[in-house]
């Protein structure tokens, strides 16, 4: 995902462009996503939401155990313009 935003704009006007796998986000397409808590993601967003028994830290430990070494090259994914 690549996000281009203007931090000085008012809420609802900050995101300028959003790309998923190098392609512009399509408003009518469904995307599978994951997030740690629903605190920052209101219930009105998404469908088929699931609460998992797995805690975030334990999930990360299991992921690293299988995928080590992990290369999380995230530079340039969120860009202020």
Q: How does pLDDT run across 44-67, given as a tens digit for each residue?
A: 888 888 888 888 899 889 999 999
Distance separating alpha carbons of residues 25 and 16, to the nearest angstrom: 11
Task: Say which residues have a Cβ less than 8 Å from residue 18's Cβ, sequence separation at least 6.
Answer: 1, 2, 3, 4, 24, 25
Per-residue b or e along 5-23, where b marks 16 or more CB atoms closer than 10 Å to that residue's CB = beeeeeeeeeeeeeeeeee
Distance separating alpha carbons of residues 78 and 81, to the nearest angstrom: 10
Q: How does pLDDT run across 22-41, given as a tens digit for each residue?
A: 999 998 999 888 887 777 78
Whether the model clears a pTM of 0.85, i.e. scores above it, the answer is no
């Amino acid at each position: 995902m690549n996000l281009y935003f203007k931090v000085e704009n008012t809420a609802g006007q900050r995101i300028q462009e959003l790309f998923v796998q190098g392609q512009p986000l399509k408003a009518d397409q469904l995307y599978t996503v994951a997030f740690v808590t629903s605190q920052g993601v209101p219930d009105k967003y998404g469908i088929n939401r699931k609460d998992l028994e797995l805690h975030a830290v334990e999930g990360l430990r299991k992921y690293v155990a299988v995928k080590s070494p992990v290369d999380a090259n995230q530079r340039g994914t969120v860009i202020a313009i």
